[in-house]
Structures are given as structure tokens and as C-alpha cells.
Chains A and B, each alone.
Chain A
């Protein structure tokens, strides 16, 4: 069964990708995900300058997923490129970048392009760092300007990753119209409280909620955006089984990403979901993955 998928003209062997920020700070871990069966792997979000991130606790385990506030820890674009440029798997590595304005995004994107990568994912959605991520991604004009700048001044395929922490995600999706694909969703802005310490669960207080508990929120975002824009979509949020992946595909996602599921199932998750998708398509009498994408929205 063919489960390859084409996103913005690029073909991927399978539609199960590694999400940004989960075991992808080091090149060897990113390559491990690909060798374990990920169709593509998105790197941790990289900015202009080195950031140490927040002091632990940076994660808090919940019965329905997890909270995190890693704080965009990253080595800075130059050290990142130095490490990642040696990879022989570049066509399967998508570089996630974050910046505060179009100038910063462009500077980062050019370095990524010069290092031989072909696709970037824009982190317009991290909920817990001031001045970055969702603070940029909540502003439709800024989103439009950043994508216009990147599409006119680089040859990169641009995936824009959006935040669910807005009143109308479709408005932001429309502002990101020029992106080659949209990635939905980043974590849901959230707080955890420890009543026995009378402190926030995370050092940063505010964090992002991920894992099974956010899947219905992500499905809603994919459905609304697919219906309203028809854009190429990549679904992410709480996917831990092939059934979860199929749900996203029926609502319009051409591929999916897994993050928190690594915590539950480790690297075997990629092959497990791919195999499950193949069996499902066969069992249900479909000829290819393509046939189910957006099936429930037409």
C-alpha cells in the first residue's frame, strides 16, 4: 500500500513526521527518528541567538498529556547549522525557525537555505516566550508580512505552524495564505498548579499543553481551516495511534506530526502508525492514502 504523501511538491515516503521540539535538538536524534521510520523530522525551533531556556521543571506530566515550558532553548542558528549541515538526510529534515519580525525570520531562513535545506517550518505559535512564537503568530498582518518576505526572497518551501490560542484561527490561516502548507496546532496555552508546594508546576508558570487531551482541539482547527481555505495541511496535537492519525486525514491533513507520543511509545511510534494506516486503508478498501484526505469535508 502506497502511503507516500506530497506536500508543496515534495514527496515523503510516509505521512508520519516528528514534531518540532521533541527529541530533535541534536542531529543524531533527528536522524534516529528518520531511521526509525519518520517520513520527515522537524527540528527544535532555532533562533538567531543562543538561548539556555528555562530552569527545570520544564515539563509536568498530566493524566491526559503534558505541560511544557522549555523556553525555546537552542544553540543559535550558526552553531545549529554547523552541526546539522553534515547530515546526509537533509531532504527529510525540516528546520523550524522563530524570530520576532520578518527581518529576523529572513536572516535565519537564508542561512538554512545556504546550508542545503529545502523546507522550513515557521514557529508562529510557541505560547510561553515573550516577543516570539504566538505573540508573532497572533498578529495577522505580521504573519502575512513574514511569509511574503520569505516566499519572495528565498526558494524555500515554507510551512507555517499556527497557534490555537486565538479567537479565529481561520483568520490567521488566511493571513498565512502564501505559505506552502500550514501546520496545525502548536500547544495550548495552559497552567499547572502544585497545591502541596503552592507553586506553579513549571518554573515559567505558563506553559503549553500537549498530548491526548488536546486532540479534539487540533481536529477542530484542521477541520475549520481545511473547509475555509482548502490549503495543504499537516495535523499535529495528541496523536498517539494510527486511529488518531486517520481522524486528522479524514478532516483534511495530508500528513501528521507526533510529539508527546514519543514519551508514551518512544521511537517505535513512527512505524506503528504507518503500519496502522496501511492496514486501515487495505481493510476499508481504499487504493491509496490520497483517497481519504479530506474525505469528510467534501
Chain B
């Protein structure tokens, strides 16, 4: 476990924060850290800006993320990692399809390689990184397309050589099921699962024997074809299967 003194904490949207700090190892696009708030919990967090001071971007939704959001410059942030595989570099015309906090994982690519950014959220008040986004959807129609970001992406009918997708698993499952595979080149998804160890030994993040923390988090479209638990079976903290509709 390492620690670093926080350089900055910024509120960039409703309950949405960015914390920056220097780390002593190289991070690549798609990788994550295990961030520890002593006395509370250790949680996975994507790195949203790879150059020192690196950044994590997150929504304060529970105790750990709320405690992180209340931290101040100079405070110690504890972490281990980076872990996980990385996104490949995009080739040709590129699209980024993000849902909710999933945009954090895609930001290093978005800022390095031009492409169309599709971003879906619940409501207009949740918007972050507005100047980076080309197409917006909201569940309630308060901004952009009314509906989910996958339907928006399909409706736009644009062709891409490379597509990156990151968001809640049901959204990625819907994307995987709905799109016409032949219209796109490579499609990469960054998955998110309950993670306890982050290094591939506890099995809590596994989908069909693929550990999201170590074999992923990034998988391509064809790998997901053979994972029948993707979008259909979740795991409780105990490892018990929870079948989704």
C-alpha cells in the first residue's frame, strides 16, 4: 500500500469529484487503482488522467466515495496498483460510448485520440465533461436525446472503425445485444464488477472464469460473446449468484 499527498480536490458536477495526486508508477489507459480510506473500505477507481498528478473522477454515492470527496489538498490518499489490462490504441474513426461514471475510465483515450463521445446519464443535472461530449442522452429527456445512450448511438447511424464502451453492466449488455456487429470494426468494453482483491486471486469479480480485475477490465466484443454470465448473473459479496431478469 502506497500513499500520496493530495494535490487538488475539485467538485465538477452534482456529487461528482476529481482528486489529483502524484504516483510513482506508470499508468495506462483503462487501468485502475485500489483506493483505501483507512477505517472505511478499499475500492476500485479508474485513473481518468494518466500524467502526474494523476486524477480519479468519481461520484460520491456511498461511505467511501463520500469520505474521499471530503478530503483536502495535502491529505494522504492510500492506494495500490495500477492493475488491470489496458485499452488498445484506437484505429480509424473512433466512438466513445459512456454511461454514468463509466466516462472516467474512457477519459484518457478521449483526451488523447479524437472521436465522437456519446454520454448517457439520468438527468441534465448529472452532466460532467460537457465540452468533451458530442451526443448526450438523459433518461428523463432534460438534455439531449430522451432515452438511453445505446439507442442514441444506434439512431445516429454513424460508422466507426473502433468503439469503446464503458458504463453500468446492463447498459453494456444492451449495447452488446442491440448493435449490428457488421457495421463496426473493433469494439472494446471495460467491465465493472464487485472487486475485493484487485489482483486476480479472490474470484469475486469473475464472469465465466474471466477475472475482470486481471484478465480485464477491457474485453472485446467477441470475448463477451462467450461469457453467458455477462449481464445475466451478478455475484453477491459472498459469491452467491444473483440472476438478473
Chain A residues close to B by CB (< 8 Å): 22-26, 28-29, 31-32, 44, 50-53, 55-61, 70, 73-76, 79, 82-83, 194, 196-197, 199, 201, 203, 259-260, 262-263, 266
Contact = CB atoms under 8 A, between A and B. Distances in A.
6 contacts: A28-B229, A56-B196, A57-B36, A61-B1, A70-B196, A75-B238
A199 B241 CA distance: 33
B161 interface: no
B208 A28 contact: yes
Given A55-B41, A194-B38, A203-B41, 4 more contacts: A56-B196, A57-B42, A58-B196, A196-B78
B21 to A, nearest CB: 14
Contact of B206 (A23, A52, A196): A23
B202 interface: yes
A61 B209 contact: no
Contacts of B211: 23, 29
Given A58-B196, A59-B202, A199-B39, A31 B209 contact: yes
Contact of B240 (A57, A58, A75): A75
Interface in B61-112: 76, 78, 80
Interface majority SS (helix, strand, loop, mixed), chain B: loop
B173 interface: no
B55 to A, nearest CB: 22
Contacts of B204: 25, 73
A31 B206 CA distance: 13
Interface in B205-230: 206, 208-209, 211, 214, 229
A25 B202 contact: yes
A194 B197 contact: no
Contacts of A79: 240-241
User: Among the interface residues B34, B208, B239, which one has the most CB atoms of the partner chain A within 10 A?
Assistant: B239
Contacts of B34: 56-57
List 5 tightest A-B contacts by C-beta distance, closest first: A28-B209, A75-B240, A25-B203, A197-B38, A52-B237
B39 A76 contact: no
A24 B203 contact: yes
Chain B contact residues (Cβ within 8 angstroms of A): what range?
20 to 34
Given A24-B203, A199-B39, A73 B238 contact: yes
Contacts of A53: 196, 237-238
Contacts of B229: 28
A74 B3 contact: no
Contacts of B202: 23, 25, 58-59, 70, 73
A196 B240 contact: no
B43 interface: yes
Given A53-B238, A57-B42, A70-B196, A23 B201 contact: yes
B206 A197 contact: no
A61 B199 CA distance: 10
B41 A56 contact: yes
Contact of A58 (B1, B197, B208, B236): B197
Contacts of A59: 196-197, 199, 201-202
A52 B238 contact: yes
A29 B209 contact: yes
Contacts of B195: 56
A260 B201 CA distance: 8
Nearest to B203: A25
Given A26-B209, A56-B42, A59-B199, A201 B240 contact: no
Nearest to B235: A26
Given A50-B238, A75-B238, A199-B38, A56 B43 contact: yes
B203 A196 contact: no
Contacts of A32: 209
Interface in B154-207: 195-197, 199-204, 206
B239 A26 contact: yes
A60 B197 CA distance: 9
